[in-house]
């Protein structure tokens, strides 16, 4: 009976240790998800042209120990690195605070948090790719989805245009340039003064597409 009791106690101890480690692992996983989600939100705001210095600074302050502990998994490293790379594009290099944040992003890169280009595999079209008409229709469909986002539901079209232009400046996808041009043309047709927006779009096209217009 004594031997059986000892065995049960050892089994109970093993089970308690296992459950303790399992709970600790789950908590760490949830914390990681929370870290990445908060950084993803900062990246989303940055790419929309929002000032994110305070949020990014707070994120670094909360997660600096996490980086120095070398507990980042490879998938976490890649996700965080890609998000930081996107955020850095939107930082104002003329602002001292933004430069400090850019330096901190570089410090993370030196620690191994280096962005990687994502590999996207796509099936080739039977006809060797979309025609120009199909590409145009695809743009229109994607633009409709963008405009149907909840954040735009109560906004005036001029406010939406301003936001789209900020995205065109910051994001790689040229759909924002195309959508901005469409909105500008529509507003002009309806009697709105759009000269400042036209000037901004021309500058964006020059910087992103290499298109220059004669003055």
Residues 107 and 140 both lie in one domain: no
Residues 89 and 4 both lie in one domain: yes
Residues 118 and 28 both lie in one domain: yes
Residues 108 and 11 both lie in one domain: yes
Residues 118 and 136 both lie in one domain: no
Residues 113 and 15 both lie in one domain: yes
Which pLDDT does position 65 carry in this prediction? 77
Residues 6 and 112 both lie in one domain: yes
Which pLDDT does position 182 carry in this prediction? 92
Task: Give, rounded to a whole angstrom, the gap between the first and last alpha carbons of the chain.
Answer: 98
DSSP characters for the chain? -HHHHHHHHHHHHHHHHHHHHHHHHHHHHHHHHHHHHHHHHHHHHHHTT---HHHHHHHHHHHHHHHHTT---HHHHHHHHHHHHHHHHTS-TTSHHHHHHHHHHHHHHHTT----PPP---PPPTTSS--HHHHHHHHHHHHHHHHTSGGGTT--HHHHHHHHHHHHHH-S-THHHHHHHHHHHHHHHTT---HHHHHHHHHHHHHHH------
Written as tens digits, the pLDDT of the chain (215 aa) is: 566 656 655 655 555 554 455 444 443 444 556 777 888 888 888 877 778 889 899 988 888 877 766 666 777 788 888 888 888 888 887 888 989 999 999 988 888 888 775 534 344 444 456 788 888 888 888 888 888 887 888 889 999 999 999 988 888 788 889 999 999 999 988 888 888 999 999 888 888 777 655 44
Which pLDDT does position 126 carry in this prediction? 45
Question: In terms of residue numbers, what domain contains 115?
Answer: 1-123
Angle between helices 53-68 and 96-110 (to 10 degrees): 20
Q: Which of 107, 123, 139 is the last residue of a domain?
A: 123
Which pLDDT does position 62 carry in this prediction? 84
Residues 100 and 143 both lie in one domain: no
Which pLDDT does position 30 carry in this prediction? 41
Residues 69 and 148 both lie in one domain: no
Residues 88 and 22 both lie in one domain: yes
Q: Which of 106, 123, 140 is the last residue of a domain?
A: 123
Residues 118 and 153 both lie in one domain: no
Give the list of residues 6+ apart from residue 71 with CB closer than 8 angstroms, or none: 28
Residues 150 and 212 both lie in one domain: yes
State residue 183 phi and psi, 5-degree precision: -65, -45
Q: Which of 69, 102, 123 is the last residue of a domain?
A: 123
Count structural domains, the chain.
2
């Amino acid at each position: 009976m004594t031997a059986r009791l000892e065995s049960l106690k050892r089994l109970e101890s093993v089970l308690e240790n296992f459950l303790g480690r399992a709970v600790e692992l789950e908590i760490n996983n949830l914390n990681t998800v929370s870290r990445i989600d908060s950084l993803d939100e900062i990246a989303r705001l940055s790419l929309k042209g929002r000032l994110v210095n305070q949020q990014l600074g707070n994120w670094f302050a909360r997660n600096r120990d996490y980086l120095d502990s070398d507990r980042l998994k490879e998938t976490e490293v890649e996700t965080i690195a890609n998000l930081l790379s996107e955020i850095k594009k939107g930082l104002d290099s003329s602002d001292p605070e933004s430069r400090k944040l850019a330096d901190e992003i570089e410090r993370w890169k030196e620690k191994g948090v280096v962005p990687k280009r994502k590999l996207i595999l796509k099936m080739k079209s039977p006809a060797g790719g979309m025609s120009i008409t199909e590409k145009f229709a695809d743009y229109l469909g994607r633009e409709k989805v963008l405009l149907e986002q909840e954040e735009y539901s109560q906004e005036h079209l001029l406010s939406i245009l301003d936001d789209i232009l900020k995205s065109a400046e910051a994001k790689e996808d040229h759909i924002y340039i195309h959508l901005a041009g469409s909105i500008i043309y529509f507003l002009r047709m309806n009697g709105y003064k759009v000269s400042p927006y036209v000037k901004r779009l021309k500058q964006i096209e020059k910087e992103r597409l290499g298109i220059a217009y004669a003055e």
